[in-house]
Amino acid sequence: MGINQTIMKKIKKVLISVSNKKKLKVLLNALTKHKIELISSGGTYKEIKRLNFKCVEVSEYTNSPEILGGRVKTLHPKIHAGILSKRNNKSHQRDLKKNNFKEIDLVIVNFYPFEKTLEQTTNHLKIIENIDIGGPTMVRAAAKNYNDVAVITSPDQYEELINEIKKNNGGTSFKFREKMSLEAFSETAYYDAVISNYFNKNFQNNFPKKKVIYGNLIEKLRYGENPHQESAIYSKSSKLNIIQIHGKQLSYNNYNDIFSALIISKSLPNNIGTVIVKHSNPCGVSIHKNELKSYKLAVACDPVSAFGSIVSCNYKVKKNLALELNKIFLEVIIANSFDVDALKILKRKKNLRIVDASNFLINDSVKFNSVNESILAQSEDINKFSIKDFKIASKKKPTKKQLKSLIFAFNVCSYVKSNAIVLASQNATIGIGSGQPNRVDSCQIAIDKMNKFQNIKKDIVAASDAFFPFVDGIEKLVQSGVSAIIQPFGSIRDKEIIKFANQTNTVLVFSKTRHFRH
């Protein structure tokens, strides 16, 4: 059976319990104008009285004092019977009359600021005390009984409520109550999800039996990967830790590429490095200390793919670089801030999206991938490689310069879609082969790009995101001029690879870990 829709419901009593007391005076003016009786407790009651409005305290209303230091105040049959009673149910009405309980027609509650508490302290006991019990219980009760009761869970909804009761002469429509109920259940689910995730994180349980994912809607996007797909971006925070300064609205694909670029950028040395990304794959990376040179080297790796790409600068963009950036069509430019002259130059292009990522940090939280009703979850692969993560497998030892170049190439390689091959020289990539079903094809693509766009004949190193299962891949690289190779160990043919390296006087370094990115 469906809900028996009461189209308009007059409000006689409202229970108010809010931690966020903003906009309260405007709300109270609207409520008392329609002679709605106010019930409240704790700090909210004191604030209402301070604002000179008549209000009945919950302990007086229930004839039951607050106990346990305020832990129990609204958890009372008179409160919840008033909220949950069906107005057209004779049995419910008899129960109310028998117990001398009154109906409560509107509940205005927002919860203890649990997320804010997490930002302010790591004291577990203080955090526990900021888990709201009474608030979510009242909200859930009101939301369940939306046929008769309206529920408000945020100051952002006050204006809509005020307009609603003004339009309906102190009442609410079914459509309004239904909408607020939906939002209320989302609010309680979100609140409980934050608490659940805190407990799991606190007790280092990354993969609990039941995983709850939560987020705030940042914005609905124009469409997804394609125009027929709907799309939106959510964040655990109320805002992203990147700021769009200029340009068209960011799209789903833009965000996907931005995050891919930033993950690579933040793996590079502080305030050094340029990353160019196309379709979530890097097509050029440089860690040259000169910023203009760094950008030019990154573009040189694959200038064709750089057209219409996303450029991420792990440093502040200045005037001279801005002039260079404006020479080709780019979708997005990301940087650790922009100076005034650079912004003036870049803003000449009306649609160019300019993003400040000064506050963007990569953490080790769990990342997700979903299909239908299934979700894959894993910890993030955050790489900060050092020499101890590798071992030299060949007779020929790498120079310090070679080893640095190998580690740089391997780091970039870990962010390229597998199967992945990265060729590098002089602190920059010079050829990237990505996303092929076999490693030999990736080798060939990387070599072809190097030969097409570069004129480098020495100091070439290569990185592979996994071991070479046969000699053919490493042979192709050596024949192209590669003098040093880095790969994870673990193949049953590792000895054959080492033997080939020694026969060709090639440096071979093994990584102790593998870094696929599918």
Residues annotated as part of the active site: 144, 279
DSSP-derived pairing of the beta strands 232-235 and 216-220: antiparallel
As a whole number of Å, the end-to-end CA separation of the chain is: 48
495 close to 455: Cβ distance less than 8 angstroms: no
Question: 173, exposed or middle or buried, with CB in 10 Å at 0-12, 13-18, 19+?
Answer: middle
Side-chain-side CA neighbours of 50 within 13 Å: the count stands at 9
Burial 202-226 (b: 16+ CB within 10 A, else e): eeeeeeeeeeeeeeeebeebeeeee
How many C-beta neighbours within 10 Å does residue 517 have? 18
What distance in Å separates the CA atoms of residue 324 and residue 311, rounded to the nearest whole number? 12
Burial 490-516 (b: 16+ CB within 10 A, else e): eeeebeebbebbeebebbbbbbeebbe
3-state secondary structure of 317: strand
Residue 329 corresponds to which tokens in the numbers above? 């069509």
How many C-beta neighbours within 10 Å does residue 62 have? 21
Q: What is the DSSP string of 101-127?
A: -----EEEEE---HHHHHHH---HHHH
What distance in Å separates the CA atoms of residue 215 and residue 234, rounded to the nearest whole number? 5
What distance in Å separates the CA atoms of residue 481 and residue 205, rounded to the nearest whole number? 48
Closest Cα partner for 268 from 167, 411, 150? 411
Give rounded-to-5 percent helix, strand, coil for the chain: 40, 20, 40
The angle at the Cα of 360, spanning 310 to 405, to the nearest 5 degrees, equals: 65
Hey, what's the torsion of the CAs at 280, 286, 287, 291, to 10 degrees?
-110
| Distances, alpha carbon 217 to alpha carbons 115, 118, 274, 304, in Å | 16, 20, 30, 36
